[in-house]
Structure 1
């Protein structure tokens, strides 16, 4: 179905203007979208389109040159990169210089570009404006060293408006429907609904000893929402009610300052699932009420920009068009520093938003410079407010990127709050010889009979789970249920297990859970006893937050152990964190919830990594200043050992109708047929994570099959306790089949 070029250019421009106006760059955004496909106006491209339609193939004729020249002439040379990269991704500055130089000559591409401008100008005369378009005034006020960073961030946000507008207009045409962009949410109404449902939620809960303190915290946090937009710190102990308090703040703050949405980013998928469920209960229309869902849960990590990925599959990328978005910090920041269109199309939604970074202590040290710099730019120039939420607040204001930025505290008397919410005692068992079998027998022998054990890797979790299962069988205690949690399980499987754990804990049934660290930040579970493999101080304190969470006992017990065979990340930052932990925490030293010791710990941890900033991502900042978008994307990896690969798993328990829907979605994505983001949303509950190298091995072994991009369909065995497990974890070529 033909799409008239004039209609597409003007339709995309109108959408981009709407998106760019949120951060004061509507005119530039509209112009870049207006000229992005001008190159399709040549006879050569139109002839290629006719051949492609007959052969059902690609046009095969470049079309980005004309729009790149216009963008350079009327906006500025750096912004030609946005038009040049609207399909393949943002290029580096040298590439754009070379392209523009070539397009100024008499080569065939240069002649074609001028031909396209002349032809399209006859239909869309506004592609040649009377003069250069003014850039935002704040760019001129930046310090010399910050100017290039300002141009880089503005480029990212404008690129987002361009590719989102392009995709939306294209999708609407081929679906033969009007473009659907949600109107601005009634945030004040959402805040009112949230408050009403929160009061009902609290009234329905069995009261606990910490509820009074949680309510005090909530009221302080919501009162702080009347303050000016900026960078806020929410520092409360584990179990202090951050999930509700941060949303109460965000909605009231957005209503006070006419902001557009709330984006909540958390470090683990398990928390997105839990938080999204809570927020849906508080904000989505009730059964029988009219209106679209309010809360979008987005943690799909599928790379939809790879070679051979169909354009329609890229249209399935999520663009965060919702009043409340719950995502992961990996999804947020990996997209923010990416160069690919489908990853970046959502970024303009961050402008004029409240961005809540929950469990902010999990941000990687080696990327703090670009992360903090970008967050400050979003606050200073794009109308955002950022909330740093954690029980173990890192010392971010020691970093030069936040020099001079106001630290807006949301609660008073933090030390007093920690003392009032002290609910555990620590026991340190750091002796040698603690094999998985020894630890498993200790866990099974715990008199509490409800124990959580948290380890550092998915391999360790599988090994300890097997050992605990065997120790339970040897003890002949059939009443005890042994459960497992890790990202090798599908999202739906994890959600089911967490629900089962919560129910068993409430009923007082004997339950032993072995988990990776995904459980220790924000997952609302209450064990009388927690075992934690030795880890950085913030991880140990977060694990302790799952112990005696509601204060129903005088003291819970947290046992810190050092497994003889335990693994841990090998990066420099993790080693620095472990070494600093050993200096401040342990027997005869402090416990992990000592605030003064935590402050000293962060100081030692940061200084151990060097003072020149390179350990914190200074090299990435240099690449950003050079407008080297491919270089930034290559260097900025939230998961240091490479991305994980999302694997869709059709478990045996999936119902026949659901199986049909999943297979239908997989088929449309694999064939490159129109499906929109809803297909990926439906696949999220059925998706587990594998290290990329393991996924590649599985594809070669016939145990997985590509769908689109790096998304794969798992064809091998799925263990109903441990997910995508291996009999021999140390042998990376042997899958359980």
Structure 2
């Protein structure tokens, strides 16, 4: 038998090279352990043994020795899986063939899996696998659901793919970068969640001792108690319907940790639609549990400059690759797009979702265009991969409505009386005031000492802010995504300080302040929108219930309604709901349930036909599945935007200097997210035309004109206020 190798080292005599059988066996053992969590250990083991079998050729050894000839080392193992493991062996063919380039589409056209399997040449040497039983039929570890057999097979294939690529990465890293491998956090033991339980209990007890005795705080304690009492229920789907300000963040965490302990689960995953909520929740979770146990995974994560935290930042970076952490706080985009991805980097984490408690915070924010595939994926995770899902929201959407093709089955409500809880936590009175001009709206806002006004577009927010500011009163602020994240945080801190000190404070903002932003105004104005958005706006009014009377929420129709189809649809369904239920509380559970029924009934819950792609009515014997096509179609964020770096601070300037001179810009760009404003392509063109941008390294736009950015309103995206550019940042 020849000696074949998987990876080389600097030693040319091959004595320190990794032998191919060692890599295959190591990868197989890891993949088997990962897949065993969902009873598919045999599948993981075979994937590991087959994935690099095509390296058992003199030609690949020559490549390791320096020959530049291309070697297709993945199709050989894919062919073995198809030819020797029965009809479902082709599922392993997808996994093995795609373990570097991503899961391919099935089919006989050039470049697709079945074309590759038919036309690739088999290496003559198969003596490498004498002990591998490649006879007999592979079977899935579960009964396939009649209504979505193909979808379940595709989902299962993606999970096995995850096991393989993570195992392959880890064993390769252990050989090629042992120092990096040693920095990974050790595997958690069975008592970890009990430790986290105790930490959270102590943290919440300290908070309770220092909390001001109010009816709102009494209700928060009652909600927490109910969550802990219900955590022992059997696994499945749960809803936690708690009005804004009811303490659902820590109550849901307590439920998740207790539920994990009772059922022996492996991690808790928080999927959140807004980065503002992620950053706030992650800070609170780290304060309660300790930073080492919380993985914050999103594009706006800012690494600390404290040298003592550098080890944590390294571990966090490694854990974000495969979500190997007890508590993961991430975005809806990252969570759901990974579940439908075909890329190895995105799918690598998927097997670590199995055996988890998944908390979908603000569950109503799942885009209706992708609702059915998202619900189908959640059903797979609960029914076949040992997960529990908590739909955590103040405005529970009708995700169990039988009219939805993939409606969630048997959703258990955690709190005993959501309607009674809503009544007891009701701290505002909603007034519908009809159409209001910008001039009259500005006068209304200016007449209040402390007031928040939320409008639907950045253009109207800026226009209204300018009108309110004309009065000359201090304490008038503006917030929108035309301001980079750190700038927004500075403004928010100033606003909170003025509110605490009872100073004048008038804020005009877009919807970015509606969720996860801890503000407490006595009066709120909200442009007509979806009822869930209006409820979120109301959550910024009398939040702590300290006013002698209920806070005032005024809902108005804008003088110039927004043109964005999604906002118009939501506002239309809200208006239809209020017409149908004229006596109902606009934010009550009856109106909210009716609103979501209308929204889901009218809109296409699978606009991109993802379910038709992955779950065709007739699945051919060749099991042709369009992994790549479905991944390209499943995109939550499709808006054509470009990130513009705004380097006005000393720290941002240093990062830009670093960006200019680093051969590896990715880490620096991640830090610069905190100083970046996303603009649409036409706005980008206006800034370019005004000479306000410099392209760093030809790819990364940097604002090079101070006059294009205002401390009051952020980036002036139309280019009309741009003057002569300042000196470029070097």
Question: TM bucket by the smaller chain?
Answer: 0.7 to 0.9
Give the SS at the match of 2:45: helix
In the aligned structure 2, how far is the partner of 1:491 from the partner of 1:402?
A: 37
- Structure 2 residue runs of 5 or longer lacking an equivalent are 1-7, 10-16, 302-316, 617-624
By how many angstroms is 1:158 displaced? 1.4
Identify the residue that residue 167 of structure 2 maps to in structure 1.
165
Match of 1:507 among 491, 501, 505: 501
**Alpha-carbon distance in structure 1 between the residues aligned to 2:662 and 2:72:** 30
Change (3 A) 1:100 1:590: closer
Structure 2 residue 94 is the aligned partner of structure 1 residue 81: yes
Q: How far is the alpha carbon of 1:12 from its aligned partner? A: 2.8
CA contact (8 A) 2:269 2:330 kept: yes
Q: Does 1:471 align with 2:473?
A: no
Give the superposition deviation at 1:90.
1.6
Q: 1:364 aligns with which of 356, 363, 367?
A: 367
How far the C-alpha of 1:517 sits from its partner, in A, is 1.9
Equivalent residue in structure 1 for 2:254, among 248, 253, 256: 248
Task: Return 5+ residue gaps in structure 1 as ranges.
Answer: 53-57, 286-292, 303-313
Pick closer, same or farther for the CA change 1:388–1:317 going to 2, 3 Å: closer
On the 8 A contact 2:197/2:254 being kept in 1, the answer is yes
Q: Is this contact kept in 1: 2:478–2:713, CA < 8 A?
A: no
Counterpart residue number, 2:491: 497
Tell me the equivalent position of 1:24.
39
Question: Retained in 1: the 8 A contact 2:152–2:380?
Answer: yes
1:11 and 1:453 mapped to 2: Cα distance? 59
The answer to whether the Cα contact below 8 Å between 2:295 and 2:320 also exists between their aligned partners in 1 is no
Work out the CA distance in 1 between the residues paired with 2:626 and 2:724.
39
1:454–1:514 Cα contact (<8 Å) kept: yes
Match of 1:579 among 572, 583, 586: 572
**1:223 aligned residue (218, 223, 229):** 229
Compare 262-271 and 27-36 and name the one that shifted more: 27-36
Contact 1:235/1:411 (8 A) holds in 2: yes
Q: Which residue of 2 aligns with 1:623?
A: 613
1:542 aligns with 2:545: no
SS class of match (1:254): helix
Pick closer, same or farther for the CA change 1:660–1:369 going to 2, 3 Å. closer
**What SS does structure 1 have at the residue aligned with 2:135?**
coil
8 Å contact 2:238–2:390 — kept in the other structure? Answer: yes
Map residues 418-433 of structure 1 onto 2, 5 A cutoff: 418-431=422-435
Deviates more, 1:687-696 or 1:41-50: 687-696
| 2:571 is aligned with 1:570 | no
Q: What TM-score, normalized to structure 1? A: 0.83
Q: Does residue 41 of the first structure (1) align with residue 56 of the second (2)?
A: yes
1:606-660, Cα deviation, whole Å (9 max, x unpaired): 3333xxxx54458211111252112222322223x4365556654414288xx36
Find the residue that maps to 1:297 and give its secondary structure.
Answer: strand
Give the whole-Å Cα distance in 2 for the aligned partners of 1:510 and 1:727. Answer: 29
2:411 aligned with 1:407, yes or no?
Answer: yes
Match of 2:284 in 1: 278
Please tell me whether the aligned partners of residues 485 and 497 of structure 1 are also in contact (alpha carbons under 8 angstroms): no
Match of 1:184 in 2: 188
Counterpart for residue 4 of structure 1: 18
CA contact (8 A) 2:430 2:553 kept: yes
Cα deviation for residue 697 of structure 1 reads 8.6
**Which residue in 2 is equivalent to 1:560?**
555
In the alignment, the residues of structure 2 paired with residue 476 and residue 390 of structure 1 have an alpha-carbon distance, to the nearest angstrom, of 39
**Distance 1:89-1:183 versus aligned 2 partners, 3 A rule:** same
1:330 maps to: 333
Q: Deviations over 1:123-150 (max 9, x none)?
A: x645x42534743331xx2233322111
Q: Which has the higher contact order (CA 8 A, sep 6+)?
A: 1
The residue that corresponds to 1:205 in the other structure is 211
Deviation readout 1:582-621 (Å, 9 max, x if unpaired): 1233796644312222222222233333xxxx54458211
Return the offset for 1:397.
Answer: 0.9
Provide Cα deviations, 1:78-127, integer angstroms capped at 9, x if missing partner: 2311222222222212159986655666x6x41xx323x52xx43x645x
Find the residue that maps to 2:396 and give its secondary structure.
coil
2:545 is aligned to 551
1:238-387 paired onto structure 2 within 5 Å:
238-284=244-290, 293-300=292-299, 318-387=321-390
- Could you tell me whether the CA contact under 8 Å between 1:209 and 1:550 is conserved in 2? no
Give 2:81's match in structure 1, choosing from 65, 71, 89.
71
Partner of 2:545: helix, strand, or coil?
coil
Distance 1:720 1:207 in 2: 42
Could you tell me how far apart the structure 2 residues matched to 1:484 and 1:239 are? 22
Show the counterpart of 2:14.
none
- What is the SS of the residue equivalent to 2:442? helix
Match of 1:654 in 2: 651
For residues 13 and 703 of structure 1, the distance between their equivalents in structure 2, rounded to whole angstroms, comes to: 51
How many equivalent pairs are there?
A: 675
Cα distance, 1:531–1:24 mapped onto 2, change above 3 Å: same
- Decide whether aligned partners of structure 1 residues 270 and 91 sit closer, same or farther in structure 2, where only a CA change above 3 A counts: same
Give, in whole Å, the separation in 2 of the partners of 1:644 and 1:347.
28
- The aligned counterpart of 2:525 is 531
2:392 is aligned, of 389, 394, 401, to 389
Q: CA deviation at 1:192?
A: 1.0
Residue in structure 2 matching 1:522, options 516, 524, 528 = 516
1:251–1:618: structure 2 CA closer, same or farther, 3 Å change rule? same
Distance 1:514 1:95 in 2: 57
How many angstroms apart in 2 are the aligned matches of 1:534 and 1:557? 15
8 Å CA contact retained: 2:679, 2:717: no
Does the aligned pair in 2 maintain the 1:457–1:568 contact within 8 Å? no
* Distance in 1 separating the partners of 2:652 and 2:615: 52
Q: Is the 8 A contact 2:110 2:116 kept in 1?
A: no
Please give the alpha-carbon distance, in whole angstroms, between the structure 1 residues aligned to 2:406 and 2:318.
36
Distance 1:37 1:686, change over 3 A: farther
